[in-house]
């Protein structure tokens, strides 16, 4: 999965380099929609891969874990917290990138 994601990333990086040379609006739209679709797919796969390791132990009580809520509640909280940090970091990068473009 990781290798396939890396290859997709390299393919879209090459497409981004080639993008200014695409003259047809329809072809540009297809490239952008494919980029958005693949990004959404890999984001979903990342989310599933992050949430699924705790599923086998969600039904039983694990040692060292609180009995109320168990693994599932803690895992959901950690997932939400990680997603929040990722979105805040992405927003920060976008704001800094836009500020850099204004200076240039």
Please list, in sequence order, all residues whose beta carbon lies within 8 angstroms of the beta carbon of residue 54, skipping any fewer than 6 positions away.
Answer: 71, 72, 75
Tokens linked to 75: 């895992």
Q: How long, in residues, is the chain?
A: 104
Q: Return the domain boundaries, the chain.
A: 1-56, 70-104
CA–CA distance, 91 with 27 (Å, rounded to integer): 28
Q: How is residue 22 annotated by DSSP?
A: -
pLDDT in tens, the chain (104 residues): 778 888 888 898 898 888 889 888 899 888 888 888 888 888 888 777 766 665 555 555 555 555 555 555 666 777 777 777 878 888 888 888 888 777 76
- Residue whose tokens read 């917290």: 81
**What's the whole-model pTM score?**
0.52
């Amino acid at each position: 999965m990781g290798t396939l994601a890396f290859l997709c990333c390299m393919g879209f990086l090459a497409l981004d380099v080639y993008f200014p040379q695409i003259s047809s609006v329809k072809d540009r739209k297809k490239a952008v929609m494919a980029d958005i679709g693949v990004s959404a797919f890999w984001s979903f796969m990342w989310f599933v891969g992050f949430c699924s390791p705790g599923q086998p132990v969600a039904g039983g009580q694990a040692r060292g874990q609180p009995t109320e809520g168990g693994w599932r509640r803690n895992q959901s909280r950690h997932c939400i917290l990680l997603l929040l940090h990722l979105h805040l970091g992405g927003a920060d990068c976008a704001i800094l990138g836009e500020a850099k473009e204004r200076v240039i």
